[in-house]
């Protein structure tokens, strides 16, 4: 039985996230249907993590097991011919037997995009968060830096999934601005439900002076979601980078 690792990307606008749903369309279900047709048997994929409805992936990793003899290098074209235009498999390789897309992941990076302008761009409507109120970028960037390090992030997660611990290590939380576009990159060893969107919401609050950037470590210690900023809309969020060891890591570079 082969263990195949895939690198893919998708526009999440039309999907209720990665994970299979009872009634709503999901990326996993759509991909599994295409892979099943190519491989000639029912395929179940393991994804590198959840993405919520409307969230996008610039780079996503999944693995599945198959007895099909199709060379891994031919899989992307074969599968893409059976996928809708908003999902694409970029690469495929034979992975080690013990590889697991979520369990083998070392760290992940998400990017949140804010278009800070009063005038919307129709072509970006589902791909950025339009935020018309002026933002103090210096305070926003300072607030992001306050999230870096190892903390209990219960105060910036939404209730919805159970986890053994809410402690995570944020390797960086960097904000950059180019014209009206603000991009916030958050890299961590793992993420809680809606964690990035809540971090960005807290940064926006700090930008407006509703809290001080220097107060953020103390707010995290309270573990109280009510004391931090709002959960930002999903369409501005992208899973951007993933880190693995070995050949899968090279594939994801």
Beta carbons of 56 and 10 less than 8 angstroms apart: yes
**Residue in this structure with the two tokens 């409307």, named with its chain if needed:** 54
Pick the catalytic residue: 11, 52, 98, 189? Answer: 52
Our answer to whether residue 86 is catalytic in this structure is no
Q: State the pairing for strand pair 107-115/129-130.
A: parallel
Active site residues: 52
């Amino acid at each position: 039985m082969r263990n195949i690792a895939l690198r893919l990307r998708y526009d999440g606008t039309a999907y209720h996230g990665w994970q299979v749903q009872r009634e709503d369309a999901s990326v996993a279900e759509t991909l599994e249907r295409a892979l099943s047709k190519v491989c000639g048997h029912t395929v179940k994929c393991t994804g590198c993590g959840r993405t919520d409805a409307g969230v996008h992936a610039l780079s996503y990793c999944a693995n599945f097991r198959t007895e099909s003899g199709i060379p891994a290098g031919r899989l992307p074209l074969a599968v893409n011919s059976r996928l809708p235009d908003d999902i694409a498999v970029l690469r495929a390789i034979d992975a080690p037997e013990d590889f697991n897309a979520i369990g083998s992941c070392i760290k992940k990076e998400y990017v949140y995009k804010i278009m800070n302008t009063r005038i919307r761009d129709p072509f970006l409507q589902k791909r950025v968060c339009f935020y018309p109120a002026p933002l103090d970028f210096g305070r926003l960037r300072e607030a992001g830096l306050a999230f870096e390090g190892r903390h209990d992030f219960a105060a910036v997660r939404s209730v919805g999934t159970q986890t053994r611990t809410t402690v995570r290590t944020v390797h960086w939380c960097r904000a950059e601005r180019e014209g009206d576009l603000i991009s916030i990159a958050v890299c961590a060893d793992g993420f809680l439900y809606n964690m990035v969107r809540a971090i960005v919401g807290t940064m926006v609050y700090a930008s407006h002076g509703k809290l001080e950037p220097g107060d953020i470590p103390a707010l995290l210690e309270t573990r109280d979601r009510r004391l931090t900023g709002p959960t930002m809309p999903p369409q501005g969020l992208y899973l951007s980078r993933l880190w693995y060891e070995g050949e899968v890591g090279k594939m994801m570079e």
